[in-house]
Amino acid sequence: MSAQSYPGRRRTTWVIFIALCVFTFINLTPLIWAVLTSLKDPRDAFTIPPTIIFEPTLKYHIEVWTENDFVFYLMNSLIISAGTVFISVPAGSLAAYALSRIPRRSAGPILSALFTIRMFPHMLLAIPFFVMGTFLNMIDTYPLLILALVAINQPFTIWLMHCFFLEIPRDLDEAAAIDGCSNWQAFRIVILPLARPGMTVAALFSLLLSYNEFLFALILTGTDTKTLPVAIASFGGEDISSWSLSAAGAIGIMLPIVLVMLLLQRHLVRGLTAGAVKG
């Protein structure tokens, strides 16, 4: 196979660049539409063809943040997301570490079972969770939704962390044992710091799942613990005049996650690419 000539390579690079620009634009279109809708008056929002020049208004953004209990729902979402992350990541990491250190023939069936749970339709799990929640009188409480989200999130966290722990040589555990560490100390002092990029990725995925989750939140929460995705859905309804408000709510719900992503972007990239190149 001959190497591509320099002008040929440059042309390929341009084609890829343009294709990626188109792809990015297609992906961002709904977001741009939402931003524009949130800044328009409902009369302008649904004109065909769409109005390009309009008088932007922050009225609906202000309304979202000051009225409609948006901050209350946001707090619920943050409490539930934080609770899910703080249980899911440590529990999943411990399980993944153990699975990475036991013989493959023992770990294999457990990992396969976890994979099966992951493939199980969440809709079918929501009903038993509702029944259990009712039985335990826990409907519309934080712990119920947190535990449900932890349960559906665990397989992914364990699989992800398992891959990270496999990358960490077993010699390090053994060196730590000889140096005077108990199993727990070896995990905490030697292994865990090395798995930090993986834990960051696991935490972010866990956060995204729990923050955006709609089905379980709709079924297991009520007035006290309703989360933002459920609340936003009720902002608009069928009334076209409320769609600008809904769009402003959608932008509002995105902000915390975008902020977290921007802050942890460096760790995220490192975590996602860890182990890709032998170093």
Partner 1 sequence: MAPLTIQQATKSFGGVQVLHGVTIDIDDGEFVVLVGPSGCGKSTLLRLIAGLEDITSGGILIDGKDVSRLHPKDRDIAMVFQSYALYPHMTVAENMGFSLRMRGAKSDEQRRKVGQAAGILDLDALLDRYPRQLSGGQRQRVAMGRAIVRDPKVFLFDEPLSNLDAKLRVQMRSEIRTLHKKLKTTIVYVTHDQIEAMTMADKIVVMRGGHVEQIGSPMTLYDAPANVFVAGFIGSPAMNLLKGRIGADAQSFDLDAGGALQFTSALDARPGQSVILGIRPEDVTLSDNGSPATVKLIEPTGADLHVNLDVAGSDITAVFHERLSLKEGQDVSLELPADCVHLFDAETETRLSA
* Contacts to partner 1 by CB under 8 A: 169, 171-172, 174-182, 185, 190, 193-194, 279
Pick the closer one to partner 1 by CB: 91 or 194: 194
Smallest distance, partner 1 to C-beta of residue 192, A? 10
Pick the closer one to partner 1 by CB: 24 or 185: 185
Pick the closer one to partner 1 by CB: 194 or 208: 194
Smallest distance, partner 1 to C-beta of residue 88, A? 24
Pick the closer one to partner 1 by CB: 197 or 229: 197
Smallest distance, partner 1 to C-beta of residue 189, A? 8
Question: Secondary structure of the chain in the HEC alphabet?
Answer: CCCCCHHHHHHHHHHHHHHHHHHHHHHHHHHHHHHHHHHCCHHHHCCCCCCCCCCCCCHHHHHHHHCCCHHHHHHHHHHHHHHHHHHHHHHHHHHHHHHHHCCHHHHHHHHHHHHHHHHCCHHHHHHHHHHHHHHCCCCCCHHHHHHHHHHHHHHHHHHHHHHHHHHCCHHHHHHHHHCCCCHHHHHHHHHHHHCHHHHHHHHHHHHHHHHHCCHHHHHHCCCCCCCHHHHHHHHHCCCHHHHHHHHHHHHHHHHHHHHHHHHHHHHHHHHHHCCCCCC
Smallest distance, partner 1 to C-beta of residue 163, A? 18
Smallest distance, partner 1 to C-beta of residue 157, A? 22
Pick the closer one to partner 1 by CB: 126 or 190: 190
